[in-house]
Amino acid sequence: MRWRIAVWFVLPAFLLYTLFTVYPLLSALANSFWRWQGTARGEFAGADNFTSLFTTFPLNQQLWPALWHTMAFFAGTMLVQNTVGLLIAVLLVELPVARRLLRTVYTVPYLIGGLVVGYLWSLLLSPVFGPVNASLRAVGLDSLARAWLGDPATALPVVILVNAWQYLGFPILLFGAALAGLAPEYTEAAKVDGANARQRFLRVTLPLLLPAIGVVSILTFIGSMNTFELVYSLEGAQGNQPTGPGGATDVLGLIFYRVAFQEGGSNAIGQSSALAVLLFAATFAVAVVANWLIRRREITLT
């Protein structure tokens, strides 16, 4: 009787997950093996849609730089979240005054859509009327004022920092929960042995936080492989502003969008589905391996 009740509770979520996640994945997999003429399915293509991603111009020249940009996007975001996020979480644990308020402040950007965040930051960074350049000029740093989103040297780092700022609240919450769950006996024993605060953090607290750091890194990787709306709102579908950095912020999500809706031609469904399948396979494989390594690390800590 209990299992029937459990099934009725799980069934709505299972149906929604199947409809909006499983079915699109299977549909994309099926579409990737056929040629398409607009929305009409043509002959069986086998692996041709996959190979064309690496052999057809301009995809063969755009895909690898976009992959590199996506990996840089992941590495930069992960670095900020696992350093600044952990530092803020530690400070919030050590300084309980206004802790809830500060956690809410840091979490609010995470709850705002990427399109809204990108639009707001595009206004802030505007070379014409943006307050960032205006502030630099006001304090005599005119040489630092520039078109941040239009300069190939700064476009990608700026997008990475905006993304890290938006999602900083999540690792803060996760690290805060992990810190609250650590047994105080470990640090007390280290203190008795004469370890100072720095040594206690580096040799006791930080190793115990490695599972949480791993979870943040995996989720950051998944989010980076799927990033689109923030880059789109900041730099447009071509990975650049009209006077901007000429593809310096191309990521895999933008490549998929252009193949599906702009540059894919009559076989847009086939090529974009093939690219979606490759993105899913790579993301899933890396996430599974990383999760397995984290589980092994957790076993060694227990």
| pLDDT tens, position by position, 268-290 | 999 999 999 999 999 999 999 99
167 vs 100, more confident = 167
CA end-to-end distance (rounded Å), the chain: 37
Residue 167 has pLDDT above 90, yes or no: yes
Q: What is the mean pLDDT of residues 186-209?
A: 85
Residue 266 C-beta-side C-alpha neighbours within 13 Å: 6
**What does pLDDT average to over the chain?**
88
Q: Would you state the pLDDT for residue 302?
A: 63
CA distance 193 to 196: 9
Please state which of the ranges 99-103, 120-124, 141-145 shows the lowest mean pLDDT: 99-103
d(CA 288, CA 297): 14
Least Cα distance to 80 among 88, 92, 91 occurs for 88
Q: What's the CATH code, domain 56-112+153-301? A: 1.10.3720.10
Confidence of residue 242 (pLDDT cuts 50, 70, 90): very low
Contact assessment for residue 167 and residue 161, using Cβ atoms and an 8 Å cutoff: no
pLDDT beyond 60 at 243:
no
pLDDT at 130 exceeding the cut of 50: yes
pLDDT at 257 over 60: yes
Whether residue 160 is predicted with pLDDT greater than 70 in this model: the reply is: yes
Residue with tokens 């730089």: 65
Residue 260 pLDDT greater than 70, yes or no: yes
pLDDT of residue 301: 67
State residue 142's pLDDT score.
87
What are the tens digits of pLDDT across the range 27-48? 999 999 999 988 899 899 999 9
Calculate mean pLDDT across residues 36-65.
90
**pLDDT of 159 strictly over 70:** yes
| DSSP 8-state symbol, 112 | S
Region 210-216: what's the mean pLDDT? Answer: 91
Report the pLDDT value the prediction gives residue 265, as an integer from 0 to 100. Answer: 81
Residues 65-90 have pLDDT tens digits of 999 999 999 999 999 999 999 999 98
Is a pLDDT exceeding 70 seen at residue 55? Answer: yes
Q: Which residues contact 225 (CB under 8 A, 6 or more apart)?
A: 70, 74, 252, 279, 282, 283
